[in-house]
Chains A and B, each alone.
Chain A
Amino acid sequence: EEQLLESGGGLVQSGGSLRLSCEVSGFSFSSYAMSWVRQAPGKGLEWVSTITGYGGSTKYADSVKGRFTISRDNSRNTLYLQMNSLTPEDTAIYYCAKDAVVVVPWAGWFDPWGQGTLVSVSS
């Protein structure tokens, strides 16, 4: 069974930093592009970032470009999101998600998703 488990969320002050982790199991991690998608409380879904299977290419939403960095450690089956210069607008549940199929560089549709980790940024 494919499983994704996020951690690292919490309460942080505006301007602060957090690093999210997503530990996966049940599939060949390095074969799949991985993404972060966030959801502000009571709101819709916003794609944040994607990284290829071997980490050579990344993409970011304009809203986080220059502040967030996606990375992965295939030896640890773990995806990361380093978040700097956080603002209250970054408050959301952050989900990691696996590309549903193996496509180079990425497919862009997601299955499965982790259970999410809540990031709250206070002003």
Chain B
Amino acid sequence: DIQMTQSPSSLSASVGDRVTITCRASQSISTYLNWYQQKPGKAPNLLIFATSRLHSEVPSRFSGSGSGTDFTLIINSLQPEDFATYFCQQSSSTPYTFGQGTKVEMK
């Protein structure tokens, strides 16, 4: 199975900050990497698929990059609605696996 490791597990940030979350795969997954945002008590929402492609209606302050084993989610100018937990997920092969999540909290 492909293991996905996110860092950090949590971070504190302020509105307007630039936030960087990393995700590392235990083996190459090409660009089959997706990001989800989850708010408390809600289902996850797709943010980015195929490493860097923004899902419809996702604000352009979100961006993704990487390939192979190392990937990054960047949130430019953090907004109040962005405080949430973010998960990466590989879709290179089953079993699909998720990172453990990064909780973005208000400083």
A contacts, CB < 8 Å to B: 35, 44-47, 50, 59, 61-62, 95, 100, 107-116
Counting contact residues on chain B (CB < 8 A from A), the size range is 20 to 34
Contacts of A111 in B (CB 8 A): 45-46, 55
Q: How many A-B residue pairs have CB under 8 A?
A: 58
Q: Kindly list the 4 A-B residue pairs having the minimum CB-CB distance in the complex, ordered from nearest.
A: A108-B91, A113-B43, A111-B46, A47-B96
Q: Which residue from chain B places its CB closest to the CB of A107 in the assembled complex?
A: B91
The reply to whether A44 and B99 form a contact with Cβ atoms under 8 Å apart is yes
Considering the chains assembled together, what is the distance between the CA atoms of A107 and B87 in angstroms?
A: 18
Interface centre among B1, B43, B45, B49 (most CB of A within 10 A): B43
Contacts of A115 in B (CB 8 A): 42-43
Answer yes or no: B80 CB below 8 A from chain A CBs: no
Interface centre among A46, A109, A112, A114 (most CB of B within 10 A): A109
